Structure 1
Amino acid sequence: MTDEHEAVRDLLAAWAFGALDPAEEETVRSHLAGCESCAAEAARLRETVRLLDGPPPTAPAGRNDGALSLALRTRPATPRIAAHAAPYAAAVAGLRALLPELADRWATPVVHDWDAHATLAHLLAADEHLAGRLGVDARVPPSPIEEGTPWEDAWNRRTADVIAHEHGRTPGETVADWEAQAHALLGTPEARDAELAARAVLLMGMRLPVADHFLVRAFETWIHTDDIGRALGLAVPPPPEEHLGQLVRLAVRVLGLALGPTAPPVLFSVTGGAEWVLGSEDEPVQAELALEPVDFCLLVGGRYAPETVPRGQTGDAAAVRNVLERAASLSWL
């Protein structure tokens, strides 16, 4: 692919939001006129953004919560974002586009013991960890969690507190706060500047660059959007190919760290993508494992059991099982 093609692909999410300067806008438009794949992706993103505003004010009662419609119609323009934040922006856009389908169905069971309202409240709680580190004020009163509490316990306690708080409010109020927090995250300097996003911070037990934590937020937002879609009987498309590739590469890095340097080495690949040796670098590869990228992400997200995820494998079955089980154990979603 040409440098121009890659540059335009990185700009498409911002273009869909109308957040480019005139020179970038012209570059994108010129490229789209001659690139079928980018034009198709641009059309998909623009349609997603179009859906964010919901129906006009004269839409039939019951189709959308009034506060939700107001929040979507009056949201400020999304500022230009860097490539590392684009998957999160797209995932937020996807969930926004799905929310109108929840009118009068917010009590639908979704995942764990959460209904749709609780699932969105969980995302409000989950995003605030990164948001707080980047100077964004929390939108829910703090939880009385003692300093030194293990992160898993603190994470679960905060989620439970936020869900309880939001169940005392309307779904539209929860949507408005989640959307405002997501917009504030995308408006931080770290969302626009790759250099600023290179600094590492410790969140959820993982010390990663801020840029990678934006990918984690994209990953979780997409996973829970898919959860809600499944609960409603609606198909949620996977992330765009370039965003999915970013999520896969992050998940592979985290999985490699979790396996450590002494695990039996396995050659791992995703269909149509790269391949990596996971585990020991001092021994011959003992097995090969191939997964579709979406299936791999769903495995890491806890939506597949290691024994049921579709895969291709050869060689040492125990070595493959070790990789699959470790991947599934990474989920906190």
Structure 2
Amino acid sequence: MGSDHEGVRDLLGAWALGAVPPADEPRLLGHLAECEWCADEAERLRDTVRLLDGGDAALAYERIDRAATGETAVHEDGGQEVRGRLLASVLARRPAAPSVAGHAAPYAAAVAGLQALLRELGDRGPWSTPVVHDWDVHATVAHLLAADESLALRLGHRARTPLGEQPQDVSWRTIWANRTDEVIAYERAHSPAQTVASWREQSAALLADPHATDTELAAQATTLLGVRLPIADHYVVRGFETWIHTDDIGRALGRPVPVPPDPLLWRMVRLGVRILDLALAEDSVPVLLTVAGHGSEGEWVLGGEHDPVAAELVLDPVGFCLLLAGRYDPAEVPRGLAGDGRAARSVLERAARIAWL
């Protein structure tokens, strides 16, 4: 065991949060390489923080309670008193979750989940691992920086990267593609840590904005990324995209990413149904869509209002969201189907074409 054992223990809480002072990091890492007990506790603390930030908070607090009451094994070199002190250190250092209204809760949860995942990578982590499209982990975070920017600018916040001139008389999709490429190229000249810091600062500004807490203020409608919605719904869109790309990164790295809590997942489902209904032509054949699972169920008639329903389509909420995100082929998404197969496939294909992620 390293001679610096007692001095290093107090740094474990900071390490679990990704906040070790640079001057102390070599000392800490050197000790963890030698001390099996501290290395185990460091991993345990980081896992607890991840559960608190984006996963199962109840399980995290259960672990804390078990440690505090002595229900876990007592280590000869530390015991429950030391473990309780380390857990208290984590909770004391951990920033308070932002207090937001319900419409911003999916975004707050998704931001916390991605932060927890990125903290595990470290400065020398697998940032060049391919993730989605032609992006690696670093570029995916840069993409989210660009994606959140549209809402940030609308709310009066500054751009985190220089804004280039946008071509005139082109579609919003072209403008969006140009801007995300521009931001990714700019961030390539910076370290992943700097890109993460910029994304984190921008997301914190969005969550601290009055529109994240005031439902009346957030009821104002605005057009972003080609769709006119209340600002409240644009916050839900931001939560949806952040979760999807966190899942992309998790899949690429072989690290499980939890599904959003049921109430937040269903807020995304309901908004997704509304956007899909807007995207379907008024003269399209009506289809009854049922989304069921994860603690709730909803039914909607999509398409034209004057003709009888031609087909019934049943989807799981996670599958529905992944379809809207372009992560499922419409022919392969798990579903139940009855009636006119062509009408149902038309809805599935239109849902998949909505994706801009």
Q: Give yes or no for TM over 0.5.
A: yes
Q: Structure 2: give runs of 5+ residues left out of the alignment.
A: 1-13, 34-38, 40-52, 54-89
Residue 145 of structure 1: SS of its match in structure 2?
A: coil
Aligned residues: 276
User: 2:265 matched to 1:244?
Assistant: yes
Shift of 1:201: 0.5
Structure 2 CA distance for aligned equivalents of residues 220 and 268 of structure 1: 23
Structure 2 CA distance for aligned equivalents of residues 264 and 194 of structure 1: 35
- Aligned-pair identity in percent equals 58
The one of 130, 133, 137 equivalent to 2:154 is 133
Match of 2:99? Answer: 80
Structure 1 CA distance for aligned equivalents of residues 332 and 168 of structure 2: 39
Shift of 1:149: 3.1
The one of 116, 120, 134 equivalent to 1:113 is 134
Shift of 1:78: 5.0
Contact 2:290 2:313 in 1 (8 A): yes
Query: Map of 1:1-333 to 2, 5 A cutoff?
Result: 53-54=17-18, 56-57=20-21, 58=25, 59-60=28-29, 77-103=96-122, 104-272=125-293, 273-333=297-357
**Scaled by the length of structure 2, what TM-score is found?**
0.73
Q: Is the alpha carbon distance of 1:332 and 1:75 closer, same or farther for their aligned partners in structure 2, counting shifts above 3 Å?
A: farther
Structure 2 CA distance for aligned equivalents of residues 75 and 151 of structure 1: 39
Contact 2:98 2:108 in 1 (8 A): no
Q: Structure 1: give runs of 5+ residues left out of the alignment.
A: 1-49, 64-71
Contact 1:85 1:191 in 2 (8 A): yes
Per-residue CA distance 1:117-154 (angstroms, 9 max, x = gap):
00000000000100000011111011221344321111
> Partner amino acid for 1:275?
E
Structure 2 CA distance for aligned equivalents of residues 181 and 297 of structure 1: 25
Structure 1 CA distance for aligned equivalents of residues 169 and 308 of structure 2: 42
Shift of 1:209: 0.5
Residue 201 of structure 1: SS of its match in structure 2?
A: strand
> Partner amino acid for 2:29?
P
Structure 2 CA distance for aligned equivalents of residues 78 and 131 of structure 1: 20
Shift of 1:51: 9.6
**Scaled by the length of structure 1, what TM-score is found?**
0.79
> Partner amino acid for 2:120?
E
> Partner amino acid for 2:318?
V
Shift of 1:312: 0.7
**Larger Rg computed on CA atoms:** 2
Structure 2 CA distance for aligned equivalents of residues 313 and 236 of structure 1: 29
Structure 1 CA distance for aligned equivalents of residues 164 and 336 of structure 2: 45
Residue 85 of structure 1: SS of its match in structure 2?
A: helix
Contact 1:121 1:174 in 2 (8 A): yes
Shift of 1:91: 0.3
Per-residue CA distance 1:208-252 (angstroms, 9 max, x = gap):
100010011001000000000000011111111000000000000
Q: Is the alpha carbon distance of 1:52 and 1:212 closer, same or farther for their aligned partners in structure 2, counting shifts above 3 Å?
A: farther
Match of 2:36? Answer: none
Per-residue CA distance 1:295-320 (angstroms, 9 max, x = gap):
00000000001001011111100010
Structure 1 CA distance for aligned equivalents of residues 271 and 188 of structure 2: 33
Shift of 1:260: 2.7
CA-atom RMSD in angstroms:
2.3
> Partner amino acid for 1:54?
G
Contact 2:172 2:226 in 1 (8 A): yes
> Partner amino acid for 2:194?
E
Structure 1 CA distance for aligned equivalents of residues 323 and 16 of structure 2: 29
Residue 120 of structure 2: SS of its match in structure 1?
A: helix
Structure 2 CA distance for aligned equivalents of residues 55 and 139 of structure 1: 22
Structure 2 CA distance for aligned equivalents of residues 326 and 332 of structure 1: 13
Shift of 1:258: 0.7
> Partner amino acid for 1:329?
R
> Partner amino acid for 1:88?
Y
Q: Is the alpha carbon distance of 1:141 and 1:78 closer, same or farther for their aligned partners in structure 2, counting shifts above 3 Å?
A: farther
